[in-house]
Amino acid sequence: MSADTRSHQAAGRTVPARRRPVQQRSQERYERILDACAGLLDEAGATALTTKEVAHRAQVPIGTLYQFFSGKEDLLAALAHRNLDHYLQRLDRRLSAGAPAGPAGFTDLAVDEFVAMKRDVPGFGQVDFGLAGTSGPTGFRGDRHLLDTDLDNNAAVALRLQALGGEVFAAADPVALTIGLRVALEAADAVLNLAFRSDPDGDPVLIAECKRLVRCYLAEQLGHD
């Protein structure tokens, strides 16, 4: 079983799009709609986003958009899923190219890939694996559960990372690891949000501190030196 398959199985009950495309033409429209959503997020932000504008930017009838997505929250959830899938694929390639030495190396690669996507992927600054940088109500009922109906976004990401890590975390107690990764993600979110508020490309000092914070925490939580 591949790391990608294990990570999907670990995620719990995902939030599906209204209808997944099967035919190539429909798949292309589906991806074009998500691309348009991502581009508009950079221009207008999540709260100002409308399905009408997304359909217009994607050059599809509004009815076509609603064939795939029930509304704006469903659209944002699909984008968050795509972002997470791409992130895990990128991280898996880095791991396969040269496995890091334990959780510390995994942490550095995980942060590096997140920062790279934050800099380069359209819309990722607004919606990464959930609504980025939100600390209060946003007007979306499901903003904390874009990835999973039962788990909050970071809890769902933690399970995917735990599955992807595989042998990296083999010696860790599974319960401690699940808790540790979730707490680490919450801490990393806060520091990386600060890093990108301070500098549009991410303050390198704060990014380094994020890595140090997570490495130290996981070393203590998982019993590594």
Quote the pLDDT of residue 142. 54
88's tokens? 């895990």
pLDDT, residue 172, reads 84
Q: What is the pLDDT of residue 22?
A: 72
Q: Which residues contact 84 (CB under 8 A, 6 or more apart)?
A: 129, 147, 157, 160
User: According to the model, what pLDDT value does residue 1 have?
Assistant: 39
Taken in order of first residue, the domains within the chain and their CATH numbers are 3-222 (1.10.357.10)
pTM: 0.87
Across 31-46, average pLDDT: 95
pLDDT value of residue 99: 63
Question: Which of 19, 2, 51, 58 lies closest to 35 in space, CA to CA?
Answer: 58
Percent of the chain with pLDDT over 70: 85
Question: Per-residue confidence at 23, pLDDT binned at 50, 70, 90?
Answer: confident
| Cβ-based burial of 141 (10 A; exposed 0-12, middle 13-18, buried ≥19) | exposed
**Mean pLDDT computed over every residue of the chain:** 86
Query: Does 13 have pLDDT greater than 60?
Result: no
pLDDT at 16 over 70: no
pLDDT in tens, 107-125: 999 999 999 999 999 999 9
Predicted confidence (pLDDT) at residue 31 exceeds the cutoff of 90: yes
pLDDT digits (tens, 9 = 90+) for 133-179: 654 444 554 578 899 989 999 999 999 999 999 888 888 888 888 89
pLDDT tens readout for residues 49-61: 999 999 999 999 9
Return the DSSP state at 14.
B
Res. 3: pLDDT tops 50? no
Q: How far is CA 31 from CA 12, 38, 61, 75, 131, in A?
A: 24, 10, 15, 11, 19
Asked whether the predicted pLDDT for residue 219 surpasses 50, the reply is yes
